[in-house]
Structures are given as structure tokens and as C-alpha cells.
Chain A
Amino acid sequence: MPAVAAILELDHGVDGGRSASRTADVDPRTRAPPGRTQSLHSVPARGGRVPPYVVDMTDGPGQDVPTDAHDGIAVRGLHRSFGAVHALAGVDLDARPGRVTALIGPNGSGKTTLLLVLAGLLVPDAGHVRVGGFDPVTDGARARARTGWMPDTFGTWDSLTAREVLLTFAAAYRMPRGAAEARVAELLETVHLSEFADRPASVLSRGQKQRLGLARALVHSPDVLLLDEPASGLDPRSRVDLRVLLRALAARGTTVLVSSHVLSELDELVDDAVFLSGGRTVTAGTLVAAESARRSWRVRALSLAALTAWLTSVGAVWHPDADDTPAPTGFGPPRPAPDGPGGVLVDIADEEGAARLVRDAVTAGVALTSIAPAGGALEQAYLALDEERR
């Protein structure tokens, strides 16, 4: 089995410009295309950092015990079946302290099962797990004392106030009463529920309950935070708050593992990403294939007709951009005139190809307005994996 955990590193330093990817911006120096910032590397990374653009195919740490012991999350060869269903069939994962790691995969890929094992609720059939430096199976209480877990669906005690819920959990983690009260007030402030602190949880909206659940997972100041779809039900403001909070926690040294479907959210949040498919972390080979796959770029010009004519003349592979030119269904904005401004999707192998395309197009007199990778980096990688799977 390939030892390389499928970790996709998104370089935040370079990533800074990606949020501007929708703006007209063709200078490749200011905005490194995310497609290339994803680099496969073996597990030991953050200390001596593997530079982006380097595909490191050397073997990762040993299979048995993590050699590079860290106090985050380390998983090796994890298997777990429910009867005939192999929910987890070989997961290797490292989530390091001080980093936000995304857990990405289609429905039923085993994300929730993995988080249940990490939270100390399920015994794996095989494999090694360390959470916060402890084995959740043999040293469960110690691991759980350091772990904050927010499940994808959870209930609340409708008759209790938000403050009471948090105080109960502080007591359940055996925090002294005085410290608990201070911590709870602080957390209610953090998740913007102070004004609801003494109202019963039944009046909270779904998003507010979600925030209360996050505060609950944080009540004992865990070193390791496991979040299952934390952004679902949150309004845009709360999503931004969540992102800021998780980045701040990571900056403080917390290990954060986030599973989510909202890939565009994760793009701006995570340092590392782990892809899960069919209960496996996607192996290096698969990811290399995904990496080398041609990637779609969204190219816009002042004249769509001129652009498509030129693309066809140079033999580039292009598709109409569904986002740019909606199908003539009778709804939405009318289709742009053929000679108006517009954009298409062009398959480009890599950044150099993109640069060449810009240069050639300008030379040929095509008035380009923007060129940007279509979709976020994670989304593209995810979709590539998804195709691989089929």
C-alpha cells in the first residue's frame, strides 16, 4: 500500500491572491494558479516545509507507529466495517497542531465514521490512531479530554438555556465552577450568542444552535478540534466568523480537522486537505493523475466571437462556459450577442500553458479581460477525483 498520505497542501502564502480570482487579473506573478499550489508531499511537512510545486513521492512514515510523533491527529491504516459495509478501508491521515486540515469526500465516503473513531466513540477494526498524543481506544479518557467534537447532527436540550448547556458540559469535563462560568461567558461572546445566553435553546435558530454546538465543543479548550460540517446552516456572516475563529485557534496551536462539502469555504480556510473516497484516503497515484489532468480555465475577452475564432484557429480545446452564457430557457438574462464580451472554458495543461495562451492571445490581438482557473482548487481536485472514481 502506498505510504504517502494523500495530503494536498494549499499554500496560504501564495493563496492570498486567490480570493481575487474573480477579478480581471491576468498577471500570473501576482496570483499563482491554485492548481499548481497543490503539491503532493509525503507526510512530514511543516517543520522543514516542502516547497510547493514539488511532488514528493518518497515513502511517508512507517505504517505501524507514527515516527514523527506530533500531538495532532495521526491515523495509519484505519479500517472499520459495519457488517458488510466497509465504512473505512484504509485511511492514512495526519493533521498537525497549528494547522487546519480539511476532510473532503463524497457522501458515504466515511468522513463521519472517521470522525467518530477520532472522537473516541468507535473502535476501529484495524489501524493506529493517535489524537492529541493518545490512543482513543486504549487511553480514551485522556484523548477525549483533549478533543473537542462537533457532530454533523446533534440535538440540544430545548428547555435549557444556552448558558446552562455550556455550564453542564464544563461540569462534564470537570472544570472548576468559577473557571467554567468565565469560560462560558467568553464562548457565548465568541459565537455571538450572549444575548441569547439566558433564553431556552428552543428559541434558537438552526444556525444559532450550530454556533452553540461549536461553543460546546470548545468549552474545555481542546487541543484537537473535530468539526463535522460546521458551516451547514450558518449565514455568511457566521461563516466568516467561523473561519476567523478556526484560523485563530490554529494560530494558537490547536489541531483543527474540518469535514465539509462547501469546498469554496474550505479553500480559504484550510492548510491541508485529505481526500476520502470509498473509505480510503485517496492514494498518491490517484492524486498524481488528478494533478496532471488538464484543468479548465475561464477565459474572457471583449469579443466572444473573436476569442472563440482565435481559439479554434490555434487548435485549443474549449467549451462554452455554462456560467457565462446561460442556456436560452427564457429565464435569466438574455444571451449575449455573438460579438459581445463573453467567456469560454479552455483546457490548459499547466500554468506555463496559461501564460503562453495570454501571450499568444495578446499577440494575435484578442482583447482578453481575464483568465482564471475555473472553480476553487479543492473543487477541481475533488471533481478530478470524482471522475477518477467513475
Chain B
Amino acid sequence: MSAVIDEGAVPTGTSGPPTPATLPRTWTLTWHGVRTVAELELRQRIRSTRWIVALVVWFVVVGAITGLVWLSTRNVLEPFTNGAQVRNLQGPIMFGLVVFFVLFLGLLVAPTLSATSINGDRSAGTLAILQVTLLSPFEIVLGKLLASWIAALAFLVVSVPFIGAALGAGGTPVLAMFVCLGVLALLLAAVCAIGLGFSALISRTSGSAVLTYITVASLSALSPIVFGLTYLTTTHDETVRVWTVPTGGWTGDTPPACVWEDQVQPVTHTERTWWLLGINPFVIVADAAPQPKPETPNAISGDPLGSIRTGVRSLRAGPAHEIDQCWSERAQSKDYVSPVAERDVDTSAVWPWGLGANLLLGAAGVWVAVRRLRIPQRTLARGTRVA
């Protein structure tokens, strides 16, 4: 007992106030502070057995799906193609599906890692005692984000063998694995940050978890649905120039030469709505993955990531104003040269915008969380206790 009282070994308040440099403000950021919080969170999390169970379940599920994809793609493709083509088709399909499945599971798991982090601590009575220390709100939030992100990355690491196996099936550049893992990691960080924001905003843990899931579902499932629903509202009848067989038909055996005609056709302006797909995590991953090199010019593209990439980029370009519908001449002659210039579709990447949007949402989550952790508090959320 007396040891505490008599010992002056520890810096005390009486030995002078801490230097101003160590005094935190709201946005003070030190690695020491972030690490302290992250270590606390990870220690608390890793030692629970649930964690190991979750990783094992994840490993088994992703492994099972990879095996199933491999078996089914081989069975479907084998009757139609020879061995080399199977490799070219099966590899990219496997890679795409496994990466999508990992992303899907990641989007399911990531919210649970962070969406109850702050309000859960508040109801457990462990938040306020951390807030009154010399950790800044920014350090507490980033520490929690780092901890949940590291946990999410653990799931990604467990998936690496299976993504590697899909890579081994051929047809996919090795770079694709690293790019996809990198984009997956950043997307999961954004989801963790969004969850953190909701957990600071909502007092009930169930409420913040639900809102985080709704946000993730909006990004990944709702956005394509809304895109589909807006498809009709962006479709209008417009006059377009068409290179076509003259209206009125023909009498002889051979169709007349094609001419330019102005026709009124329904035109869909997807250049106004493509971003609904652009913010979709699956589209982001697909767009970011490097294009597999076709081994033969006429190789059938079975790459799901590539199809999505091509699709979203042409949707972004919107409708063409000149259309070649001169099917007759095209069919007759191999030397047919279309007068409609090859569409110069903007092939610049979509994913930086989508990833940026997701990361921006994550940054908003962090900002909200930091604002809510500032002390002393002026207002209290309804139904919350400070401590």
C-alpha cells in the first residue's frame, strides 16, 4: 500500500503538467495512440475462440465453393472444347467467381467487425474510460478501424490459397491476384469505416449493424437494381442516323445498297446512370482486374470480370449517334467497310471512381465517429448514457 503513496518514480501531476506536445486535440494523430487502441481491440478479439471458428468456417466455405466452381466449369466446358481452350475458359471463370465469392463473404463479415465497435463499448462501459485518457478521438477511431480492418484482412489471407488455385487453373495474369486482393482490402476498409460511423451514430448495436448492412446491400445489390429500374426512364425516342437498307424494301433478289437514313429510335442514355454500377464493389473489383491476354485472336471470352468491365465502360459511353444496320452487305462481303466509324469507347478505368466513392463513404464514417467521440459532449444521443 505504502509503495504507491511514497514512490515518486512515476510522473505525476504534481511534477508539472504534461508538455503541450503530448496534449491531444480532436484530430491529434500519433502512431502510439492508434497502436494502443488497435492492440487493445485485437487482444480482446483474437483471444475469443469465436474468432478461430469463424476463420475455419470461412476457409472451409471458400474452399468448398472453389472446388465446386472447378468441377462444374470443367463439366460444362469439356464436351465443347479441347483441353487448351478449357484452360483458357475455365481459369478466368474460376478466378472471377472465387474473387466475387470472397468479396461477397467479406461484405457480409466486415460490418460485424466494426458496426458495434463504438456503441458496443459504450454499453459495455469501456468507452468513456478510454475517452477521458489522453488519447484523441481520432486515435481511438483509427485504432478501432485498424483493428477491424486487420481482422477483415485475416479473412482475405485465409482466402489466398483458393484465389491462387484459381490462378493456377490458367488464363489469368498473376498480377490480377494482387490487384484484386488490393482492391478487396481497400473495399473492406471502407466497409469497416462505414460501420464505425454508424456505431458512433446509433446507440443500439443492432441498429448500427442493420444500417451498415443496408448500406453495403445498397452498394452491391440495390445499385444494379436501381440501374435496371432507371433504364426505362432514361430511354427516349430520338432521331439517329442509321446506315441501312432503304426503307420501303426491295423487289429484286439482291437488296439495294445501304443509304443514310434519319430514324426515330428508342435510345437509352446510360451515360447518366452508369455510376450506379460504378460504385458497386463487384464492378469495382472486375474493372480493376487486369485483362487476361487472349492466346488466340478468336478465343471465346468466358471471363466474367472482363465482361463486366467491357459492359460498364460501354454503358458509361452512352448511345452512339450513328448506327450501322447494313446487315445485308456485311453478310455478303468480307471486305465490307462500315461508313460508321468504330466507336471510340472511353476505356479509361471505372474502378478508381467507384473505389474513391466507397473510400469517401468510409472517410465520412470516420469523420462522424470522431465528431461523436469528442469530449466534453454538449448533446447526448437519445437514450444514451455517457458512461
Contact = CB atoms under 8 A, between A and B. Distances in A.
Nearest to A165: B40
Contact of B375 (A121, A142, A169, A183): A121
A146 B17 contact: yes
Which A-B residue pairs are the 8 nearest by beta carbons? A172-B133, A223-B13, A221-B12, A155-B125, A159-B47, A155-B124, A146-B13, A141-B23
Contacts of A153: 125, 387
Given A132-B13, A151-B125, A223-B13, 7 more contacts: A121-B386, A122-B386, A159-B46, A172-B135, A174-B134, A189-B3, A200-B47
A222 B13 CA distance: 6
B4 A145 contact: no
Interface string B72-93: 0000000000000000000000
Interface stretch (B184-192, B244-252, B280-288, B376-384): B376-384
Given A121-B128, A155-B125, A168-B40, A174 B18 contact: yes
B376 A190 contact: no
A203 interface: no
B18 to A, nearest CB: 5
A122 B40 contact: no
Given A187-B4, A190-B3, A218-B4, A179 B11 contact: yes
Contacts of A305: none
A221 B134 contact: no
Interface stretch (A58-66, A242-250, A273-281, A309-317): A242-250
B387 A121 contact: yes
Contact of B134 (A144, A155, A251): A144
Given A182-B9, A218-B4, A160 B44 contact: yes
A82 B380 contact: yes
Interface size class on chain B is: 35 or more
Interface string A65-81: 00000000000000000
Interface in A144-175: 144-147, 149, 151, 153-160, 164, 168-169, 171-175
Interface stretch (A112-120, A350-358, A379-387): A112-120
A154 B129 contact: yes
Interface in B70-116: none
Contacts of A116: 386-387
Contact of B10 (A123, A145, A159, A179): A179
B377 A244 contact: no
Contacts of B46: 159
Given A123-B377, A189-B3, A183 B9 contact: yes
A186 B44 contact: no
Contacts of A174: 18, 22, 32, 134
A137 interface: yes
A248 B2 contact: yes
Chain A CB within 10 Å — which of B2, B22, B36, B377 has the most? B36
A202 B366 CA distance: 31
A173 B126 contact: no
Contacts of B321: none
Given A145-B23, A154-B125, A172-B36, A121 B377 contact: yes
B52 interface: no
A175 B40 contact: no
B340 interface: no
A130 interface: no
Interface string B33-69: 1001101100111111000000000000000000000
Interface string B140-157: 000000000000000000
Contact of B129 (A149, A182, A200): A149
Contacts of A189: 3-4
Given A146-B13, A146-B17, A248 B1 contact: yes
Chain B CB within 10 Å — which of A146, A157, A160 has the most? A157
A245 B11 contact: no
Chain B CB within 10 Å — which of A144, A147, A164, A253 has the most? A144
Given A144-B132, A149-B129, A149-B132, A164 B13 contact: no
Interface in B306-347: none
B134 A172 contact: yes
Contact of A156 (B3, B126, B133): B126
Nearest to A201: B44
A373 interface: no
Contacts of B386: 116, 121-122
A156 B2 CA distance: 26
Nearest to B1: A190
Interface in B1-33: 1-5, 7, 9-14, 17-18, 22-25, 32-33
Nearest to A187: B4
B131 interface: yes
B376 A137 contact: yes
B225 interface: no
Interface string A95-124: 000000000000000000000110111110
